[in-house]
Chains A and B, each alone.
Chain A
Amino acid sequence: MTFTEIINSFKTKLNPSKFMYSLEKEAIFYSESENSTEENNSGENLKSNPSFNSGDNSVNNSNAEKISRNKEVPLIKLTNVWKLYQMGEVEFAALKGINLEIYEGEFLVILGPSGSGKSTMMNLLGCLDIPSKGTVYLNSKDISKLDESELAIIRGQMIGFIFQSFNLLPTLNTEENVLLPLEFQEEDRQIARQKASYLLEIVGLSEKKKNLPSQLSGGQRQRVAIARSLAVNPPIILADEPTGNLDSKTGDYILDFLDGLNKREGKTIIIVTHDLELIKYATRVVYIRDGEIEKIEARTKDEPGTENEPNLN
């Protein structure tokens, strides 16, 4: 099968309303399915998802049923988490006893000014670092008890990272960048390429497969990064100021896309930012200041503007 055939078969065979659903379950190429227990019941919303260039702009406001499963067992749980840095002779606490529970299907925005400890928190949530005191549980597993390679496996399978500065590998082309996480998981080449071209189709970059990151605009790069973060189909997407380096229009597109992932697929989205604008997408906002949680605010999600396709560039 060639790519075009695969893509065509996707386009024709799959009802767009089941598109995301298929990403989760049906498509032959998703073998790992740690998150596939989730029932997708929001298919009818897909038309409004900016990731589908379906040309169907009909406004569909029917809200996704709140993904409310697993409310009892948090996906990520921080209990009395401290992170201390040695600054010369002084010990500096970047986080001071954080307690936070993040549930599956949440769209969490962690909001704080610079120096508030939000980046430290993102590192802990992303299993990039372990706490000095306290415990971070991911899927009820204490990450401090894992060694470096186990953490790498968790990162590789559970978490999709989106960075402020995109962090694409400059020497790999678009497709190779998206393939990279799959290579780390030793995914079958054929399947991996199918996944990659599918994901690039979703983010609208099928034409740019062979381009190097330096030949792409900022927005395009971030879309590649998103495709990369989705490659292993992780349950959690962790974004660090994903729109920080983008103009507001492109930023909106990215956020709408993430919002779509959250709504239609029930992916847990965690965004770390200082940008108040972003809270409109959030189901919960965590305000953080000086290493402590100031307040946690649950929100009813605003509907993202769906009347117009966001400018892709």
Chain B
Amino acid sequence: MRNSTYLKMGLNMLVHSKLRSWLTIIGIVIGVGSVIGIVSLGDAMEANVQSKLAEMDLTNIVISPGYTKASSNLHGGPPPGMGGGSSTDSELTDDDIDALQGMDSIQYIAGSISGREEVKYAGETATLSITGVDPQVWKYMTSLKTQSGRLLEPADRYVAVIGSSVASETYDQDIGVNQVITINNKSVRVVGVLEEEGMGDDSKIYMPIDGAVELIEDAKEDVYDSITVKAKSEDLIDELTEDIEKKLMVSRHIVQEDDKDFSVIASKSMAESVTEMMSSMTLFLGAIAAVSLLVGAVGIANTMFTSVLEKTKEIGTMKAIGAKNRDILMIFLFNSAMVGLVGGILGVILGSFVSSGLQAMMGSDMTGGGGVRFTLMLEGLALAVLIGVISGVVPAYRASKLKPVDALRYE
């Protein structure tokens, strides 16, 4: 018997199948739909993160006090010395910068301080994060860009560059270039407004470190909350990170890894771990969706078993008029493959809706928008057919092994 005949017979069975088969198909539709939806949502989010990361400067290495691997980049907690978090009361000072100064791979090195202070403007007060940076090198090290005004210049002292949301959202009245804000009762002139960045960086205020040290209460001269190193090239990052660690351990007289009181984190490795996190999240959600596919597969198998039972007499008849075991096997396999295929097609459609629905809910900020990849659709279809075939194998085999006499006698 030819494949086209198997196809025709399988299709005929599908077309004439009962409501039960369609319920089975719904199981596959939901399974494939959720897998496709979630995977393509994950894809979109990952692509979005990737594009954000591409804009990022990946040559930066941040050194921060305390050894808290996970969150050493997140400032705003109690400053060192207060014994906050798991960080020890270690601090980074000019000595550390001196120790690193002159390393071959380092292009720029600068310390920065940060703190949250009350910022007044036009009679309103808000608590904002102030970051003190080295105006000599900041404009070479940062990837931030201004939408108006300029970045900090070496001669600046009591001036500020503000994030876009500080400029337009924090206060009722928008802050423009050359306006004056008050930080801890000190007047500071705004010289630049940054472009919108997203991810919480828009509500920061950047100042020259010399000015900031006076305004931030807990800050001390020559003590930094973090030291940022810019490498000469991205390729040197891994090596440089290690070298910095070694050097600092020597200069800070630390012998054992366990006693380390600082962390060195490359923005590149952060980027990598973010990407990794995104894909493992997608994988996790996808796995949950796959469970529903599994349930769908069991449903197909169940329906196929019932169908074989129901069609016992027909199988007997077909065998009597010349069907070989293989013919019966193939007819039923084609049928269950087609159940999978139909479920897959509907599932891909559902998945596209689910994906675009979720993306709409999360906003284009998190996802890049865009539909389901074509290859993902094909994969979904292939998966559905595969599931159909696998769950149809045993019932089809049993159908093919029916003895013609017994099958004909079956009522």
- Interface of A with B (CB < 8 Å)? 123, 126, 128-129, 148-149, 152-153, 155-157, 160-161, 163, 167-172, 176, 180-181, 183-186, 228-229, 232
Contacts and interface: CB of A to CB of B under 8 A. Distances in A.
Contacts of B13: 171
A153 B324 CA distance: 7
Interface stretch (B73-81, B137-145, B168-176, B403-411): B403-411
B326 A181 contact: no
B405 A129 contact: yes
Given A123-B405, A149-B326, A180 B321 contact: yes
Interface in B83-103: none
Given A171-B12, A232-B322, A186 B403 contact: no
Interface of B: 1-2, 5, 12-13, 15-16, 313-314, 316-327, 403-405, 408
Contacts of B12: 171-172, 176
Given A155-B322, A183-B2, 8 more contacts: A155-B404, A161-B320, A169-B314, A171-B13, A180-B321, A181-B322, A184-B324, A186-B2
B320 A128 contact: yes
A169 B403 contact: no
Contact of B5 (A126, A168, A183): A183
A187 B408 CA distance: 25
A128 B321 contact: no
Contacts of A185: 322
Most B Cβ at <10 Å: residue of A171, A172, A181, A183: A183
Contacts of B322: 152-153, 155-157, 181, 184-185, 232
B321 A148 contact: no
B321 A228 contact: yes
Dominant secondary structure of chain B at its interface with chain A: helix
Contact of A169 (B15, B318, B327, B408): B318
Given A171-B16, A183-B5, A129 B319 contact: no
17 contacts: A128-B320, A128-B405, A129-B403, A149-B325, A149-B326, A152-B322, A153-B322, A155-B322, A167-B317, A170-B16, A171-B13, A183-B2, A183-B5, A184-B321, A184-B322, A185-B322, A232-B322
B319 A169 contact: no
B130 to A, nearest CB: 78
A290 B49 CA distance: 84
Query: Which 9 A-B residue pairings sit nearest by Cβ, starting from the closest?
Result: A156-B322, A171-B16, A184-B322, A167-B317, A152-B324, A149-B324, A128-B404, A181-B321, A129-B405
A170 B311 CA distance: 10
B213 to A, nearest CB: 86
A167 B319 contact: no
Contacts of A186: 1-2
Contacts of B323: 152, 156, 184
Contact of B320 (A155, A168, A171): A155
Nearest to A147: B325
A171 B326 CA distance: 21
A156 B317 CA distance: 11
A153 B13 CA distance: 24
Nearest to A171: B16
Contacts of A148: 324-325
Contact of A155 (B1, B321, B326): B321
Nearest to A185: B322
Contacts of A126: 320
Contacts of A153: 322, 324
A180 B318 contact: yes
B307 to A, nearest CB: 12
Contacts of B325: 148-149, 152
Nearest to A232: B322
Contacts of A129: 403-405
Contacts of B314: 167, 169-170
Contacts of B321: 155-156, 160-161, 180-181, 184, 228-229
A184 B317 contact: no
Contacts of A169: 314, 317-318
A183 B317 contact: no
Contacts of A170: 16, 314
B341 to A, nearest CB: 19
A163 B403 contact: no
B397 to A, nearest CB: 13
A51 B318 CA distance: 26
A228 B2 CA distance: 19
A16 to B, nearest CB: 29
Contacts of B15: 171
A282 to B, nearest CB: 23
Contacts of A229: 321
Most B Cβ at <10 Å: residue of A153, A163, A167, A176: A167
Nearest to A155: B322
A90 B404 CA distance: 24
A194 to B, nearest CB: 17
B395 to A, nearest CB: 18
A149 B400 CA distance: 11
Contacts of B324: 148-149, 152-153, 184
B405 A167 contact: no
A184 B320 CA distance: 11
Contact of A183 (B1, B16, B326, B408): B1
Contacts of B318: 169, 180, 184
Nearest to A183: B5
B166 to A, nearest CB: 72
Nearest to A154: B322
Contacts of B317: 161, 163, 167-169
A170 B313 CA distance: 11
Most B Cβ at <10 Å: residue of A126, A156, A228: A156
A184 B322 CA distance: 6
A249 to B, nearest CB: 26
A148 B406 CA distance: 14
A252 to B, nearest CB: 25
A66 to B, nearest CB: 30
Nearest to B319: A152
Contacts of A163: 317, 408
A169 B8 CA distance: 14
Contact of B1 (A128, A161, A172, A184): A184
B86 to A, nearest CB: 71
A260 B16 CA distance: 37
A214 to B, nearest CB: 11
A184 B403 contact: no
A101 to B, nearest CB: 23
A163 B317 CA distance: 9
